[in-house]
Amino acid sequence: MSYPRVIAHRCGGTLAAENSLAGLAAAARLGCRGVEFDTMLSADGVPVLMHDDTVDRSTDGHGEVSRLTLAQLRRCRLGDEPVPTLAEALACCARFDLWANIELKAVAGGDDAELGAVVGGMLARAWHGRGVISSFSLDALLAAQSQASRHAYALLFEALPGDWRERVAATAAVAVHLDAGRLDARGLAALRAAGLTVACYTVNERDRAQALYAAGVAAVFTDRPDLFAADEM
Ligand code: G3P
Ligand code: MG
């Protein structure tokens, strides 16, 4: 599938608080065409934007996301705003015409299939579908697909595992997202020969991004979208 070459990581990279609506607005203002963000469920089952299992690092609150209700999460501040819901982020992407990579972020001890099913259900109802759904969790991806079969899916890995072909077949994934530091030429060639789009995270140097594009990587996730010109995005 066609990816933007530069994907702002966790909404706007370092342009704003991570996984925030302000990040989406900042990415759009800069001229980004694509953004990535992480989603997980509140204790009462509402998909919110968050990367870590707890709110401690990225907000002024404390506690595990999966044990906090939406009302409690909304009292946790990310800079000037409360923890966003996935619904708000999707509306923002529609408003700014952003391609989006929605990452289903499985939490330790959590129910990956429930995460996938709830988010998949929401995406089937409320997302324009311009972008891709990804996860490190195969169970989360398969559950999302059971609810949102028309959307595109990507497998997310640190290093490419030996059984990647089986996982691609199980999910009909159109893309594979890999840690740029774990990418090897042979794996990249095999993925491309299989017709898959390859995107790499997290690339915060322009030269490194250009070397990856030259090697056949379609897109990079970056905390520094400001290093790229608008016509390179
Ligand atoms: O999806 C690419 C990247 O976001 C995966 O790593 O830990 O930043 O979610 P992480
Ligand atoms: Mg992510």
Going by C-beta distance under 8 Å and a sequence separation of 6 or more, which residues neighbour residue 232? 5, 6
Classify residue 218: in a domain, yes or no: yes
Going by pLDDT thresholds of 50, 70 and 90, the confidence category of residue 179 is very high
Domain count for the chain, please give it.
Answer: 1
Probe target for ligand 1 pocket from 65, 156, 222, 223, with the most ligand atoms within 8 Å of CB: 156
Outline where DSSP puts E strands in 25-162. Answer: 34-41, 47-49, 77-78, 81-82, 99-104, 131-135, 153-156
Classify residue 202: in a domain, yes or no: yes
Classify residue 185: in a domain, yes or no: yes
Ligand 1 pocket, residue 53 CB under 6 Å: no
Probe target for ligand 1 pocket from 201, 222, 224, with the most ligand atoms within 8 Å of CB: 201
Average pLDDT of the residues in 182-209: 97
pLDDT at 76: 98
Statement: the pTM of the whole predicted model exceeds 0.95: yes
Average pLDDT of the residues in 3-30: 98
Classify residue 219: in a domain, yes or no: yes
Identity of the residue numbered 45: G
Q: Does 125 score more than 90 pLDDT?
A: yes
Query: Could you give the C-alpha distances from 107 to 1, 40, 51, 66, 103, in angstroms and in order?
Result: 28, 8, 9, 8, 12
The structure tokens listed for 229 are 């010109």
Which residue range forms the structural domain that includes residue 91? Answer: 6-232
Q: Does 1 score more than 90 pLDDT?
A: no
Classify residue 16: in a domain, yes or no: yes
Ligand 1 pocket, residue 177 CB under 6 Å: yes
Q: What is the pLDDT of residues 55-69, one digit of tens each?
A: 999 999 999 999 999
- CATH code of residue 14: 3.20.20.190
- Cα of 180 vs centre of ligand 2, distance in Å, is 14
Ligand 1 atom at minimal distance to the Cα of residue 51: 9
Going by pLDDT thresholds of 50, 70 and 90, the confidence category of residue 136 is very high
Average pLDDT of the residues in 10-30: 98
51 in catalytic set: yes
Q: What is the mean pLDDT of the chain?
A: 97
Classify residue 1: in a domain, yes or no: no
Ligand 1 pocket, residue 35 CB under 6 Å: no
Going by pLDDT thresholds of 50, 70 and 90, the confidence category of residue 140 is very high
